Structure formats: C-alpha cells, structure tokens
C-alpha cells in the first residue's frame, strides 16, 4: 500500500477492512489518518487496568501499520507498543488520561458548548463591525490588547467541553468559523465565566439572532 509516500506490504484482508472502515467516515480519511483513529478506538476500549491478549495483538498490529504509513495522530506508536509489551497500561492512562474517563459527553454538555460558541461568534462579529473609535473604547474598558476572541477551554478541568467543541467543529462541521480553534487551551478554567456571560446574554433585548451587539452589550458580556 502507498500512503504519504510510504510503501509496504499489508495483508489484503486487513487492508480491505481498514479501507472499508475509513470509507464510512465523514469527512473522509487517508489510510494514515484511519490508522490513527483506529488506534484511538482500540485504546478507548481498554479496561482501566489491563488489556486482553487479543486487544494487545490488535493494537500492536495497528502500531506497526501506523509507523509504516507515517501516521501523525496524538498517539505515538512507539510509546504505545512499548507500554503494551511491557505491561504498562498505567503509562497509557497517564499519557492519555482522556482515554480512560469511562463516560460519554452528555446532551447538556453539547447544548452548553453550542450556546457558548454561538455567543462568542456574535461577540467576535459584533466587535469586527464597530467603528475604530468604539473598538478603542471596548479595548480600554476591558483591557483587551487586540480583538476579543474565543479563549477556548481549560485542558485540565474542562476536557469534556473541549472534546465536545472539537467534535462539533472538526467532525460535524458546525460553527466553521471556530474550526481549528474551538478546543484551544485557555490556560485557566473558564466555565464559570461562560455561565456568567450566558446569563447576561440571554437577558439581552435583541430583535434577531444575527443582530449585532452594541458597545454597551459587548462591554457587559466581556466584563462578566
């Protein structure tokens, strides 16, 4: 098989299964991307303390495939294979803690994330259309050096919201203006601030969903 300028021989049946799986994914995946995704699926199904012999074999095969196709996913095949062969499942959990969370993100989380992204889209768009004088006023009152942009989520405490936002923008193509930045690390917890902002946002007397925010409204939200 040839992918990312790498050539190697792969069992036709396994290759066919990988290609069949990636053909069902939206958006479409290259073989190397498919292998990365399959590695993540395999890891996500591990138990909290150990992997079965079959799971170890599958992951080892995928690690080998990942190296040969030049996979650049979040999982390092060399690290993963060393952890599997050495019986160090704990190292996998330490390196990738989100894989062992043992839960699925809820509808409430998704509803909250989409509301936050919608609010920030309007904040960014509203600031962009302000006259320069009003922009200077907003900067001066809020202490923002440039333009107000979506800060992201705290990686340590808000991983559920971060992963939900990433899935929405990268896999579902929602809120395309946030593609590539919906899951950036804010560097500090922002959940409480977003809740305060949404509380004020829902109380605004707005005539339409696309109506730009006034300077006063922007200041109220950004100072929440």
Residues 6+ apart with CB under 8 A from 102: 48
CA dihedral (39, 45, 47, 53) positive or negative: negative
Domain 107-222 in CATH 1.10.3190.10 = yes
pLDDT of residue 103: 55
In a 3-state reduction of DSSP, which class is residue 7?
strand
pLDDT of residue 105: 58
For the chain, first and last CA: distance in Å?
55
Residues 6+ apart with CB under 8 A from 14: 61, 65
pLDDT of residue 67: 74
Residues 6+ apart with CB under 8 A from 187: 154
Which residue is it, tokens 């302000």? 130
pTM over 0.85: no
Among 69, 93, 98, smallest CA distance to 79 is for 93
Can you spell out the DSSP letters for 175-211? SGGGTTTTT-B-SS--HHHHHHHHHHHTTS--SSTTP
- Tell me the C-alpha distance between 51 and 58, whole Å: 11
Neighbouring CB atoms inside 10 A of 219's CB total 15
pLDDT mean by block of 10 residues, the chain; 224 residues: 47 77 74 72 53 72 75 72 73 66 69 94 96 96 94 91 89 91 94 96 79 94 94
Whole-number Cα distances in Å, 55 to 5, 19, 42, 70, 84: 29, 20, 7, 22, 10
Q: What would the 3-class secondary structure string for 83-109 be? A: HHHCCCHHHHHHHCHHHHCCCCCCHHH
pLDDT of residue 106: 73
Report domain extents, the chain. 2-100, 107-222
Whole-number Cα distances in Å, 106 to 101, 111, 112, 119: 13, 9, 10, 20
pLDDT of residue 73: 64
pLDDT of residue 123: 96
Question: Residue 192's Cα: distance from chain center in Å?
Answer: 20
């Amino acid at each position: 098989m040839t992918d990312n300028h790498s050539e190697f021989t792969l069992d036709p049946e396994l290759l066919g299964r990988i290609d069949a799986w990636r053909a069902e994914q939206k958006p479409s995946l290259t073989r190397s991307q498919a292998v990365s995704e399959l590695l993540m699926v395999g890891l996500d199904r591990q138990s909290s303390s150990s992997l079965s012999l079959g799971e170890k074999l599958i992951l080892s095969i995928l690690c080998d495939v990942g190296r040969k196709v030049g996979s650049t996913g979040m999982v390092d095949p060399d690290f993963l294979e060393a952890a599997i062969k050495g019986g160090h499942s704990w190292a996998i959990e330490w390196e990738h803690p989100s894989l062992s969370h043992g839960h699925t993100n809820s509808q409430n989380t998704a509803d909250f994330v989409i509301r936050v992204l919608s609010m920030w889209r309007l904040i960014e768009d509203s600031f962009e259309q302000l006259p320069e004088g009003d922009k200077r006023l907003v900067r001066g009152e809020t202490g923002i050096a440039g333009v107000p942009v979506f800060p992201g989520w705290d990686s340590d405490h808000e991983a559920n919201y971060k992963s939900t936002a990433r899935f929405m923008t990268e896999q579902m193509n929602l809120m395309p203006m946030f593609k590539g930045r919906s899951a950036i690390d804010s560097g500090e917890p922002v959940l409480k601030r977003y809740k305060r902002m949404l509380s004020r946002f829902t109380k605004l007397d707005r005539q339409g969903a696309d109506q730009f925010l006034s300077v006063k409204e922007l200041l109220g939200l950004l100072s929440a």
